Structure 1
């Protein structure tokens, strides 16, 4: 046995790029090396290998130092790990209290609620008292996403602290508003932007004195991500929003440091692992540059960054795969340096989370922290030639788009003009097309679908709120927050505060950013197939005509099975016909309407025309397709013999399935056929 010390001290020659290039070209068998370069949705060129020279022009960075690309703390998560910040929803304040108490005892470290997804309305001081009964807000940070306006809920929280005789300076975390995010999602606001900016400035000014550990402004990237935007767009639109908030608060007498230090950013983390890591790193660098340009301090340049795993990537069918998706996304968020993280429950697209799905989501973070020890490595992506290069590329591209939005007058005007929506929709359509073509694969949905899977019971995951109000309305006297706190102390309702805001000047309306999930096109086909099964007793069905021995037809037969099962079709198979006559006899006995011939290219010239003619001459005639792309002259011959089309790897799977369903009388819109 070789001496272990000798082996440890042995060195290997450093490989040269030219040597790698030669070996790569050999493996490509004459194809150019450029074949290995890919283009992302951000229109960035990704090389197959990165070397030291790729980052020679990148300034050397250190964790905890401007521009904070490697994190805002020199020791990363060593002293303070990221906050396990799972958003909690429920049907009532009492149920919310029970869930929050249960989850906090099992590893959640930040109390997180999103008003628009809460499941009920926080209408009074009594609701707050019920929700936080037995929970010490002084012991946990809070992340409360108030939507377009935080005035009423913040006033109720302050009234609650006063009643409990708790010091306000012990409340830490975020109770924030983001009116432009709400506008992008809903297309309208409860009141004018001018009024909301007045509230934002008043709340921020008041918090500076009374709530020193609370951030009051949230900037969300999720509305753009969940609309299909790429990483560059998500950053550019988020920072255009942040700059508008800064400018509006400066107009109202605040300083850049007072505003910037009260901001928290929230980004969705998608499926492109390295892109998402680089996105968060680029975000910190961009924010540092923006605040520096405003004349802000180094402290104000430090970004507070919350992340949530993507809703856009989650599926209704085969939902347990969502656990794997969320795990990879959570990993990327932590490597990218998020300060807090929400991991979406695997059933997020189906129903409100239950105890099991909440536990799996929470434990995903705890495993990364306690077992994978991700927090014990400071900026694990730092120094990676690929990640550092990608970070710089994203930052540069996002900065250019950000400047274009600024040149159009800022984020509000860009939304009103439809510029933001059009930019996102361009990428969304490309993503949608790639999913339909199965170039972008979604396991369990457009590939490897399981038609035997039980039909999911889809339930609404958003709250239904009664916005009607005819009670006492708050009167504003000076500062918006002071008026709201005084009103809340009288045990008045949040709706009275909201009503006072609604009485101000009218809001604006825009075309909202379409919120969708990548798997929706195929989910709609699956649902149509399931409705057809319920009403007609069978799924839409295709029959395979497999030619020859298994080895001769299996590859194409398997491809066809996966192709049609993605739409919820039943696929009738056979072990292979050994003659054309046998194939015709078997097909006619099957009594179907749509047939796919699967075999070798060599078997097709003899078999396809004969089978197609026989099936077309039958009463009623059958629809006949051929598996695999053929040369043009052969396709022409087959079409003349009666073949209806050809299905292959280049076919648009979604459009083919839609065409088949229409021919079979399957109702795609839920109406009876």
Structure 2
């Protein structure tokens, strides 16, 4: 309006511009002789982060990819898992309720796509007007044909069907199905038929550069193999969406999404596609399972908050927040409501939807975005040099395994902190679940950073419960491979420095760690895989010639049987010089 006063421009012209060299000189002076390198942060990614960044740092960086309003128009999309032989009616009803209370769309993770009742879905959530995503591992073409056969005028949402990343059998046939799906949905501008499962790499502990590089390698496979007389390379590119999983490393996760967009433009350019094709890429961000815990589980609420904020500030088009307790119990109103409302608060109360690309121009973020992009592109080129995917999948999985084991070691040594699990534990924690049932469950996710620490805590909790009840039964809990050293390092970290340095212990490599628990005592032991396999067959009374037997994680029997079997198969006690098993367990439990 004409009578509205104009704001005065903010100016700091009275202050002289200070160069990077001048700042470094001032830092050295303030440190009073200390080495400025002590302020550097050496990340698990292998990057060195400086204590400050200056405008001059931007001079040599690659310009960022300019998207449309990606950071503004992001959607809040809860996820609902639908199991085998499940028609999905309950999940669909829950989804309809969520849409009435703030959700913008729904993502169905389907284990058994043929069983899912598409007609009931269309009745409750009209396909033409509801934003819906579907994850399908097998039978994707038939599923899409059933969606289209409902008579709807169109589809809004996406399909995550990624046979390359998900290692789906009969890849040539799956690629043919995917090619047909793209052809059938090419007239639907609001439906993305080719969503890549980039979350797979994050949820197995991959570094950020691995996540980006391996995802680009999967995309390159589709760009190479899907185009045909019926489907052009431009149509394949237009069908893409990338599902990414975010961890709590806030600034690096923001940079991850921005680096992915930058490299996406580079990838499409190699196939002769214009910049606007890359700008149209949609990113679907989900909170990571890798970072979730069953110990002190309310800390998961804090993790998913930072992950969701990073997703939005990094330019995600849609976000899905997992309930904090999904690892150990079925969906419930309380945790689902918190997960659904978190993005709503970020949008409605924090205003994170009001600025496009708010991270742009940050000296720090622009620098690490550039570093991640360069390293991720080198990772992508290395995979391509090894034959690309799926030929190089063995190499990819081995590299993921290596970095995951490295993280397990750092967690055990306390170098990498998981709040409530390996640091700042709650020694009086009461579990909202049955540890015995959880350890026995096939659904218990063992592909997480906290799993080795959790299984030891849960196993010892079972022991102390059994000791209180004084039942004359015993249990053996399989703690897993590579756990001997993790237990030792976790224990030594709790000792005074001088005592820690004086203690030395070694255990055979390639063994399994087990916890032998009786009403009177709990003993940490180790055994070879063959020893444990034969032991489990005896306790479970499974014939030796039964080929498909998989030893369970938790074995229980009467005390005499267990003692005899443990002795017969030669399990060795895990000893730390000067400390009994009881001392080790008590310290790890936080009771001493």
**Whole-angstrom CA distance in 1 between matches of 2:438 and 2:120:** 24
- Tell me the equivalent position of 1:578: none
For residue 522 of structure 1, give the secondary structure of its aligned residue in structure 2: helix
Specify which of 220, 241, 246 is matched with residue 218 of structure 2.
241
CA offset at residue 664 of structure 1?
5.9
Specify which of 456, 459, 464 is matched with residue 528 of structure 1.
459
What are structure 2's unaligned runs of at least 5 residues? 1-6, 471-485, 506-510, 526-552, 557-562, 564-592
Bigger CA radius of gyration? 1
- Tell me the equivalent position of 1:588: none
Question: Does 2:522 correspond to 1:665?
Answer: yes
**Whole-angstrom CA distance in 1 between matches of 2:191 and 2:325:** 32
Q: Is the 8 A contact 1:273 1:332 kept in 2?
A: yes
CA offset at residue 89 of structure 1?
3.1
Return closer, same or farther for 1:76/1:349 CA change in 2, 3 Å cut-off.
same
Return closer, same or farther for 1:148/1:134 CA change in 2, 3 Å cut-off.
closer
Question: Does 2:332 correspond to 1:354?
Answer: yes
Specify which of 392, 409, 421 is matched with residue 397 of structure 2.
421
Q: Is the 8 A contact 1:307 1:338 kept in 2?
A: yes
- Tell me the equivalent position of 1:343: 321
Q: Is the 8 A contact 1:532 1:666 kept in 2?
A: no
Q: Is the 8 A contact 2:347 2:353 kept in 1?
A: yes
CA offset at residue 362 of structure 1?
1.1
- Tell me the equivalent position of 1:443: 419
- Tell me the equivalent position of 1:554: none
Deviations 1:138-162 (A, max 9, x none): 22221111125511221221122x2
**Whole-angstrom CA distance in 2 between matches of 1:104 and 1:406:** 42
For residue 142 of structure 1, give the secondary structure of its aligned residue in structure 2: strand
**Whole-angstrom CA distance in 1 between matches of 2:32 and 2:430:** 46
Specify which of 264, 273, 278 is matched with residue 296 of structure 1.
273
Greater Cα shift, 311-320 or 528-537: 528-537
For residue 60 of structure 2, give the secondary structure of its aligned residue in structure 1: coil
- Tell me the equivalent position of 1:176: 160
Return closer, same or farther for 1:661/1:232 CA change in 2, 3 Å cut-off.
farther
Question: Does 2:105 correspond to 1:110?
Answer: yes
- Tell me the equivalent position of 2:200: 223
For residue 413 of structure 1, give the secondary structure of its aligned residue in structure 2: coil
TM-score (norm 1): 0.67
Deviations 1:533-566 (A, max 9, x none): 1222299xxxxxxxxxxxxxxxxxxxxxxx99x9
CA offset at residue 666 of structure 1?
3.1
Pairs aligned (count): 491
Return closer, same or farther for 1:439/1:307 CA change in 2, 3 Å cut-off.
same
Deviations 1:625-669 (A, max 9, x none): 96332698xx5xxxxxxxxx499xxxxxxx9x9999999633676
- Tell me the equivalent position of 2:95: 100
**Whole-angstrom CA distance in 2 between matches of 1:100 and 1:19:** 57
**Whole-angstrom CA distance in 1 between matches of 2:495 and 2:359:** 48
Question: Does 2:243 correspond to 1:266?
Answer: yes
Return closer, same or farther for 1:429/1:89 CA change in 2, 3 Å cut-off.
closer
For residue 278 of structure 2, give the secondary structure of its aligned residue in structure 1: coil
Specify which of 70, 74, 83 is matched with residue 82 of structure 1.
74
- Tell me the equivalent position of 2:406: 430
Query: Aligned-pair RMSD on alpha carbons?
Result: 3.5
- Tell me the equivalent position of 1:650: none
CA offset at residue 7 of structure 1?
13
TM-score (norm 2): 0.75
Return closer, same or farther for 1:135/1:464 CA change in 2, 3 Å cut-off.
farther
CA offset at residue 409 of structure 1?
1.2
- Tell me the equivalent position of 1:550: none
- Tell me the equivalent position of 1:617: none
For residue 317 of structure 1, give the secondary structure of its aligned residue in structure 2: coil
**Whole-angstrom CA distance in 1 between matches of 2:291 and 2:253:** 13
CA offset at residue 297 of structure 1?
3.0
Q: Is the 8 A contact 1:264 1:305 kept in 2?
A: yes
- Tell me the equivalent position of 1:629: 498
Q: Is the 8 A contact 1:629 1:646 kept in 2?
A: no
Return closer, same or farther for 1:658/1:447 CA change in 2, 3 Å cut-off.
farther
